[in-house]
């Protein structure tokens, strides 16, 4: 008896949620069309609620009574919605296709709830309502987009969605060093950070100026930001401290980016790496904020120009590089043990810190000691910081770039000291 009552209660619950999903969408539709003349609306809050409730009942009928009857009812509902929405489409004030699509979505959500997936139906209703309520924002965003923005989105969609599902998730090749799905996932992760930084740059950069744009740009290329700001330092007589602050803050964001990638891909090395990088990141952030405060201007009319971060050819080349480094790491482990891996990662990281992190992440945790892995990654970051220090000094010149050079050099010095302390304290050996 209890089982029968529970089953009946679940039916009531599913139908109630189907109705609630329709009412949620109906509230948004009713509010959007509130200024239209009475009788001019095809559907409102009650109609959308009833459409979803009808979908729930059709699903229940198909399960409990007769599938043919349910199919006939469903066909009738779709025909009725089609007729009511398309009868005025050729008139001067013909209605948008949006309401028709939303009506069909509401019917589908009702069917989903009635079929035993009420949580999914309610989540879908919330998503649909959210998208509908963002009409003005989305249209405004489309007006602000340019050809470069569209290319960036298309390229990231190709990298993230069009390739990964078709790659096999298994190890193969010499030393079983290759896994195509994992290799491509790290490409998505790295380019995803670049894409996120680019989007934030486009949304906030022009409004908040040099410093905020530099910080956002540092999420995907602190070296590019350093070079861009250093060029402006050479050519400008004012705002030198603001530009130097942007260089320092971009580097502090770079430290965070490295730690985030390590946490996601090579977590066994995260704690020892964080112990070395955290003091240097803090110094870079403090110096950047002090320079910003002394400049007296947190805003600027100009923003840092950052190049398109989503480039397909480098993405493919990066995947091949990671695959080669994975094979080299397995070979070094087999021939020389953990010391061979450490030297290899150090060499690779001097050119590309991300590749070094990914190479470590592809190895089993027991392959190399976590303290040694963290130290080696920290040294690759130090090499990158020294390179950026040279770029800032050479590009901006000593007179105009000394504040930026001093900020980068101070952070690099703290990083070197922290690395030396870690090397001695943990008795790290190659």
The reply to whether 166 falls in a domain is yes
Pairwise CA distance, residues 50 & 233, whole Å = 64
Beta-carbon contacts of residue 218 (< 8 Å; ≥ 6 apart): 197, 225, 249, 250, 251, 252, 253, 254, 257
Per-residue pLDDT tens over the stretch 226-242: 776 777 777 665 556 77
Same domain, 57 and 198: no
Q: What was the pLDDT predicted at 67?
A: 82
Residue 230 lies in a domain: yes
- Residue 430 domain flag: no
| Packing angle of the helix pair 97-114, 67-86 (nearest 10 deg) | 160
Report the C-alpha gap between 327 and 316 in whole angstroms.
Answer: 17
- 262 belongs to a structural domain: yes
What does pLDDT average to over the chain?
76
Same domain, 240 and 125: no
Beta-carbon count within 10 A of 377 CB:
28
Same domain as 270, residue 152: yes
Q: Are residues 128 and 177 in the same domain?
A: no
What is the model's pLDDT at position 360? Answer: 73
Q: 104 with 182, same domain? A: no
- Selected residue with higher pLDDT from 240 and 374: 374
Q: Does residue 98 form part of some domain?
A: yes
pLDDT band at 176 (very low <50, low <70, confident <90, very high): confident
Asked whether residue 21 is assigned to any structural domain, the reply reads: yes
| Assigned token pair, 125 | 């209703």
The burial of 413, by beta-carbon neighbours within 10 Å (0-12 exposed, 13-18 middle, 19 or more buried), is given as middle
Residues 170 and 311 grouped into a single domain: yes
Per the listing, tokens 């999420």 go with: 219
Query: Does residue 25 form part of some domain?
Result: yes
Higher confidence at residue 313 or residue 418?
A: 418
Phi and psi for 172 in degrees, rounded to 5?
Answer: -160, 175
Q: What pLDDT does 311 receive? A: 60
Indicate the number of domains in the chain.
2
Q: What is the pLDDT of residue 412?
A: 92
User: Within this chain, do residues 119 and 202 fall inside the same structural domain, yes or no?
Assistant: no
Domain closes at, from 122, 140, 158: 140
Whether 380 has a pLDDT exceeding 90, the answer reads no
Whether residue 200 has pLDDT greater than 70: no
Q: What is the mean pLDDT of residues 396-403?
A: 81
Which distant-in-sequence residues (6+ apart) come within 8 Å of 83 by Cβ? none
Same domain for 330 and 263: yes
What's the pLDDT tens digit per position in 38-94? 555 555 778 888 888 888 888 888 888 778 888 888 888 888 878 777 765 555 444
Are 84 and 151 in a shared domain? no
Residues 227 and 107 in one domain: no
In a domain, 129, yes or no: yes
Q: Of 110, 140, 170, which residue constitutes the final position of a domain?
A: 140
pLDDT tens-digit map of 21-41 = 889 988 887 777 666 655 555
Tell whether 285 and 395 lie within a shared domain.
yes
Q: What percent of the chain has pLDDT over 70?
A: 68
* pLDDT higher than 50, residue 1: no
pLDDT above 50 for 428:
yes
Query: What domain range includes position 46?
Result: 2-140
The confidence score (pLDDT) of residue 93 equals 47
What is the spatial distance between Cα 34 and Cα 27, in angstroms, rounded to a whole number?
10
- pLDDT the model gives residue 84: 72
Question: Do 157 and 76 sit in the same domain of this protein?
Answer: no
pLDDT value of position 236: 62
Query: Which of residues 85, 107, 140 is at a domain's end?
Result: 140
Taking only the tens place, the pLDDT of each residue in 334-373 is 666 656 666 666 666 655 677 677 777 776 666 677 788 7
């Amino acid at each position: 008896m209890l089982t029968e009552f529970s089953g009946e209660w679940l039916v009531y619950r599913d139908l109630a949620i189907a109705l609630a999903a329709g009412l949620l969408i109906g509230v948004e539709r009713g509010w959007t069309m509130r200024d239209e003349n009475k009788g001019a609306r095809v559907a409102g809050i009650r109609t959308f609620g009833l459409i979803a409730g009808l979908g729930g009942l059709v699903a229940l009928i198909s399960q409990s009574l007769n599938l043919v009857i349910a199919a006939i009812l469903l066909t009738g509902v779709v025909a009725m919605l089609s007729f009511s929405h398309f009868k005025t489409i050729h008139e001067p004030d013909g209605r948008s296709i949006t309401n028709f699509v939303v009506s069909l979505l509401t019917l589908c959500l009702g069917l989903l709830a009635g079929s035993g997936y009420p949580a999914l139906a309610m989540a879908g209703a919330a998503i649909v309502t959210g998208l509908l309520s963002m009409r003005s924002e989305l249209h405004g965003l489309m007006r602000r987009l340019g050809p470069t923005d569209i290319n960036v989105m298309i390229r990231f969609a190709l990298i993230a969605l069009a390739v990964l599902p078709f790659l096999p998730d298994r190890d193969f090749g010499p030393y079983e060093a290759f896994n195509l799905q994992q290799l491509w996932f790290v490409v998505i992760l790295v380019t995803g950070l670049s894409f996120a930084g680019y989007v934030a740059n486009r949304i906030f950069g022009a409004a908040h100026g040099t410093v905020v744009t530099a910080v956002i740009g540092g999420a995907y290329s602190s070296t590019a930001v350093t070079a861009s700001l250093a060029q402006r330092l050479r050519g400008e007589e004012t705002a030198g401290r603001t530009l130097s602050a942007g260089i320092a803050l971009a580097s502090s964001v770079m430290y965070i980016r490295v730690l985030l990638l390590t946490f996601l891909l090579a977590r066994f090395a995260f704690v020892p790496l964080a112990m070395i990088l955290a003091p240097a990141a803090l110094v870079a952030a403090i110096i950047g904020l002090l320079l910003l405060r002394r400049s007296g201007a947190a805003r600027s009319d100009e923003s840092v120009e950052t190049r398109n971060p989503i480039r397909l050819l480098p993405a493919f080349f990066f995947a091949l590089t990671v695959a080669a480094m994975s094979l080299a790491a397995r070979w070094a482990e087999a021939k020389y043990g953990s010391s061979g891996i450490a030297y290899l990662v150090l060499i690779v990281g001097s050119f590309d810190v991300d590749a070094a992190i990914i190479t470590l992440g592809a190895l089993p945790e027991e392959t190399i000691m976590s303290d040694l892995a963290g130290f080696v990654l920290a040294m690759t970051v130090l090499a990158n910081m020294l390179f950026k220090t040279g770029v800032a000094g050479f590009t901006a010149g000593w007179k105009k770039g000394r504040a930026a050079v001093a900020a980068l050099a101070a952070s690099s010095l703290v990083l070197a000291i922290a690395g030396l302390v870690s090397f001695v304290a943990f008795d790290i050996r190659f």
